[in-house]
Amino acid sequence: MPKVTSFDVARLAGVSQPTVSRALRDLPSVSPQTKERVRAAARQLAYIPHDQGRALSTRTTRRVAVVSEALTNPFYPQLLEPLRGALERNGYATVVVTDGDGDLAGEVLADGSFDGVVLTTARRGSTVARELARRAVPHVLANRVLDEPESPSVAMDNPAGGAAVGRFVATLGHRRIASIEGPDDTSTGRDRALGLRRGLREHGLRIHAGLVRQVPFDHDSGRAATRELLQRDEPPTAIVCGNDVLAFGALSAARELGVDVPGALTVVGFDDIALSSWPVINLTTVHCDLDALGRRAVDLLLAQLRGGRVAGHDVLAPTLVLRGTHGPPA
Amino acid sequence: MPKVTSFDVARLAGVSQPTVSRALRDLPSVSPQTKERVRAAARQLAYIPHDQGRALSTRTTRRVAVVSEALTNPFYPQLLEPLRGALERNGYATVVVTDGDGDLAGEVLADGSFDGVVLTTARRGSTVARELARRAVPHVLANRVLDEPESPSVAMDNPAGGAAVGRFVATLGHRRIASIEGPDDTSTGRDRALGLRRGLREHGLRIHAGLVRQVPFDHDSGRAATRELLQRDEPPTAIVCGNDVLAFGALSAARELGVDVPGALTVVGFDDIALSSWPVINLTTVHCDLDALGRRAVDLLLAQLRGGRVAGHDVLAPTLVLRGTHGPPA
DNA sequence: CCGTGGTCTGCATACGTATGCTTGTCAAGC
DNA sequence: GCTTGACAAGCATACGTATGCAGACCACGG
């Protein structure tokens, strides 16, 4: 592809290839006149330095991989954006590596294509982080964490958020409370569910086993689970969801079945993604500061890229945000 | 990063470096016994071939860049997914290149990091495609097209879709029809708006100049425009939006102002992204088969990657999908 | 006039893998 | 027994850029 190389530029400018390399990077060891001649030649040939060559020579790519599940879940683009911004401000390009099945081979991440890795959707037992650690690839977990906290990580305080929701629905007066939870092998799914139970317990409440559903984090799963729950003999008066997308599914099911929200049903989400604040949705949920999370994660990664050993486990406090999908039981 | 190279493997296996290269790629010119010895050595050292080295040597990256605006607009992840799938099936990895401002420097795309490029958010006057053409970088436009059709492209038949919407709202009986359109420098924004006018004209209708808003393709813009429109002395009875996200904004504004949809206001979108079919939204819109679009775009790209000259301009027919946000005027 | 120091440029080579060509080995065929 | 050929592996080198080191050149001071 790169028909024109630094040798071509050198020939045209009447200098050597190394001089071209130095001149175009504006190193001080090249005289102003030579620089100008080289720049002119490069311009004339529309020369673009070949990135592979540079990367091979410097053993640095200025690229960071962000591993995420399907981007069609709107949560991930919103996490991605702050990560991308922070990385860009520090001179790194972001490459999104989609990990559809959650069993990505670690090899792709350690073949020299990236200077570092951000894992956003690690499963609790995933070995990818361990493998990266073994190969000394700078990396950080953002959003989800592992059971064995070997790698640095940043996450929301999901247990605390879950507990806050529990206390909130209890205080509203609800007693028949359902929980639509995310997968148990994700730290977000499990921690929020555990937190919810703790919050309810503080008010002397428990979740009836029949009112618990554990499903993947997507709209249709939330919708199906909610349909089941609402068609029980004694349907719940409140449904707490493991994330916002599940809550959208709950709202969809309620709409389909003609159940009024919040009159006859309270729905609470978790994440506070952009859609949730749209008046057409107006979801009561738990706000997560993904900007802060992304910035912090990138800080931890940069520290490693600069050669330091890093082992922090940051936890950010979420906050309940009250909108239009909650109320006292009918 | 790659502490262990093919030379290390060669030394351990007692063979030469080229033999390692051939053995691990399972070339026939290596004896089975040698292959096994090399594989064992590679396994023992946890050897991962350095991608930069391979890329430099073969002058091929097996990577394709997909250029898109911010992924927080849910349309793009949905276009991305079929593209990614089709590329993956053909052995190419997808790299998302985010083009926040729409003025991406073409250099990044032509520095040898990618074998090909898919442009999804090109502005009408963009020179990026031309630059790629000049440098003989295989590329294709998917979704949006250019005024000068120099590069191969695939897009929905946006004028036809717009016309269908125009005829539809006219047939419903609406007369005060508003149009919230996307930016004029995008082919989607302009073509859909032109199509709408054509469809209405067929029914002897015109859009009052005061009922036209041209805004960026995002929720808040749609919401703000709709608030303005609904607070006029004679508000529109139907609002046609340049895409679904704008329509969500319209629904938000209607909700805020207590305007009933579809009782007092008809809202129509364009794209039929996943959210639109959620019962909680249930938007009447124009369906675009992004799977087909993505597959076709990748086909055109692959033809170029295999060395062919390609110059097709494919257009796919969209279809109106009637859901819950339309009705006759009050 | 020679030596010194500083400035600029070029030479040689490294980075890790892939591949054309050559060499070596061995068995079969005449 | 020598040739032929097939097969297996190694040698040399290419890909494009970056960098340590050496050398050239110039000006200046003694």
B chain contacts of residue A255, beta-carbon cutoff 8 Å: 279-280, 282
- The verdict on B257 touching A (C-beta cutoff 8 Å) is no
Chain B CB within 8 Å of residue A241 CB: no
Q: How far is A202 from chain B (nearest CA, A)?
A: 33
- CA of B33: nearest nucleotide by C1' is D8
Q: What angle do CA B48, B51, B56 make, to 5 degrees?
A: 140
Whether any strand D atom is under 7 angstroms from the Cβ of A278: the reply reads no
Residue A58 has pLDDT above 60, yes or no: yes
Q: How far is B251 from chain A (nearest CA, A)?
A: 6
Put simply, whether B50 touches A (Cβ < 8 Å) is: yes
A306 and B CB contact within 8 Å: no
What per-residue confidence (pLDDT) applies to A103? Answer: 63
Of all nucleotides, the one whose C1′ comes closest to residue A3's CA is: D16
B89: enclosing H helix or E strand: helix B75-89
Write down the pLDDT at residue B111.
92
Interface size A-B, in CB pairs within 8 Å, comes to 132
User: Residue B127: is its pLDDT beyond 90?
Assistant: no
Write the single-letter amino acid at B258: G
Question: Does the pLDDT value for residue B1 go beyond 60?
Answer: no
Q: Is the CB of B17 under 7 A from strand D?
A: yes
Helix (H), strand (E), coil (C) string for chain A: CCCCCHHHHHHHHCCCHHHHHHHHCCCCCCCHHHHHHHHHHHHHHCCCCCHHHHHHHHCCCCEEEEEECCCCCCHHHHHHHHHHHHHHHCCCEEEEEECCCCCCCHHHHHCCCCCEEEECCCCCCCCHHHHHHHCCCCEEEECCCCCCCCCCEEEECHHHHHHHHHHHHHHHCCCCEEEEECCCCCHHHHHHHHHHHHHHHCCCCCCCHHHEEECCCCHHHHHHHHHHHHCCCCCCCEEEECCHHHHHHHHHHHHHHCCCCCCCCEEECCECCHHHHCCCCCCEEEECCHHHHHHHHHHHHHHHHCCCCCCCEEEECCEEECCCCCCCCC
Cross-chain Cβ contact B112/A2 below 8 Å: yes
Query: Is the per-residue pLDDT at B258 higher than 70?
Result: yes
Residue B101 in this model has a pLDDT that exceeds 70: no
pLDDT confidence tier of residue A108, bands split at 50, 70 and 90: confident
B23, closest nucleotide (Cα–C1') = D9
Q: Which of A52, A61, A74 sits opposite B56 (nearest CB)?
A: A52
Asked if pLDDT for residue A100 goes beyond 70, the answer is no
Closest CA in chain A for residue B75: A72
Residue A278 to residue B252, Cβ atoms within 8 A: yes
Looking from the CA of A310 toward its CB, the CA atoms found within 13 Å total 26
Q: Across the interface, which of B53, B80, B107 has its CB nearest the CB of A71?
A: B80
pTM of the model: 0.93
Chain A, 55 to 114: residues with Cβ < 8 Å from chain B are 55-56, 59, 61, 70-72, 74, 77-78, 80-81, 84, 94-96, 98, 107, 110-113
Per residue in A132-143, pLDDT tens? Answer: 999 999 999 999
* Residue B320 predicted with pLDDT over 90: yes
CA–CA gap between residue B305 and residue B136 (Å, rounded): 11
Question: Among B243, B274, B147, B266, which Cα is nearest to A245's?
Answer: B274
- Mutation target to probe the A interface, by most A beta carbons within 10 A, among B99, B113, B132 is B113
- B135 contacts A111? CB cut-off 8 A: no
pLDDT for A66 beyond 90:
yes
Closest nt by CA–C1' to A60: C15
Q: Which of residues 73-112 of B touch strand D (CB under 7 A)?
A: 112
Average pLDDT, chain A: 94
List the A101 CA – D5 C1' distance (angstroms).
Answer: 51
Name the residue facing B107 among A48, A84, A110 (closest C-beta): A48
In the structure, how far is the CA atom of residue B10 from the C1' atom of nucleotide C22, in angstroms? 20
Given a cut of 80, whether residue A2 has pLDDT beyond it is no
pLDDT higher than threshold 80 for residue A291? yes
Which residue spans within B153-279 are E strands per DSSP? 153-156, 177-181, 212-214, 238-241, 266-268
